[in-house]
Chain A
């Protein structure tokens, strides 16, 4: 085999279990994970900045990795945190590809995310679009922390572990992201938008 030269589910590293991890969780099978997170993962991918046209394919990659790595899930985090971790790593690979695409093939690196038309009101949908545009202005590092903390409600300790950075660094990124999101939204409000 010619080594891992393609970004693919197989190249995504297995999440390292924390010290003192419990025994393998045997009673969780892939069907149950898909039932609980099948709709969640595409939404998370959009929030992390994966381009709309790629969300379904990337979601398929996420679940392919989950299927392969599920036997190694040891229950040292909640299942949601573990799924978020897999999603984060797969999304990061694909976002890196978007950069390459722009560099080599001259295609746009990203395209604006679209909110699926499932919100109860047009006003709320417009507010979400404003938030999405604010997130587009963040760096990938800031966006990951903001999304995982403010939207997915993961603990900062889990976020730091998923991002392989000190908790203090994660907080620094969160504060910077908050400032940038607030600034972007206020700017849009000043231009006549509503929140």
Chain B
């Protein structure tokens, strides 16, 4: 592998300090532990089951899967919330949705949050007696669960909109989400409408995430950053924060690429 004109490596005798060559060799040989490798293998089981990808560019990318994951999550949350409100033998609701089964393709292909704060769910009695049993946390998804966060982050629900308004709230958010695919400005307008109608709605987190994404799409980076900070302060334990970081990071990467496109050498 080494080219003839390459300089002598430290590990091959050029190290300026005694013992450094041995240290370099030892460090270069460090890999995953057996347990780590087993978890990685489990997480990649869909790919290992399909070892040859013949459609490298035709598959759903992470972004689309993430959006699908968001939407599936929202839909499940909505369905669960509505069902728990209208079914005759309704039990108190807690920890909706985030303990749902793993995402569609791979455990982290569309990382869904593990716990939702339903702090503002309208007029639904809340308790820790959830109707959705907690998922057994295994593999990488389990690592995403923040240990410091309580299992259920519930707060007394303020007197708010009528119970079934969750359905209308969800419908409005669905429209906003759908609009994001073709018109970020429309998505932003719908999300703003949602914010006016349901400032503390059950899907306030999702709405704020959508607004950040729409603003980034529109190039309103400063506004998106401010909203991200506000989100962080308001939903400090939200696992959506990781996704927001990805969005902002990707936007920065895009700007980096654009800035350096003039002198790219590959």
Contact = CB atoms under 8 A, between A and B. Distances in A.
Contacts of A178: 10, 16
A39 B51 contact: no
A11 B218 CA distance: 19
Contact of B24 (A2, A59, A101, A131): A131
Q: Is chain A's interface secondary structure helix, strand, loop, or mixed overall?
A: helix
B3 A118 contact: no
Contacts of A16: 266
B63 A47 contact: no
Given A6-B66, A68-B53, A124 B10 contact: no
A10 interface: yes
Contacts of A164: 264-266
B179 to A, nearest CB: 10
A43 B23 contact: no
Contacts, number: 242
Nearest to B52: A29
B63 A1 contact: yes
- Range for the number of chain B residues in contact with chain A: 35 or more
B21 to A, nearest CB: 10
A154 B1 contact: yes
A54 B44 CA distance: 16
A151 B11 CA distance: 8
Contacts of B6: 149, 155-156
A21 interface: no
A90 to B, nearest CB: 11
13 contacts: A5-B254, A7-B249, A34-B44, A56-B40, A64-B109, A71-B53, A96-B252, A104-B244, A131-B20, A132-B27, A155-B1, A182-B17, A189-B17
Interface of A: 1-11, 16, 29-32, 34, 38-43, 46-47, 53, 55-57, 59-61, 63-64, 67-72, 78, 80-81, 93, 96-97, 99-101, 104-106, 115-116, 118-119, 124, 127-128, 130-132, 149-158, 161, 164-166, 171, 174, 178, 182, 185-186, 189, 195
Given A2-B184, A31-B48, 19 more contacts: A5-B216, A5-B250, A7-B253, A8-B63, A9-B62, A11-B250, A56-B39, A60-B140, A68-B59, A71-B52, A93-B250, A105-B228, A124-B26, A127-B23, A128-B23, A130-B23, A149-B9, A156-B6, A158-B1
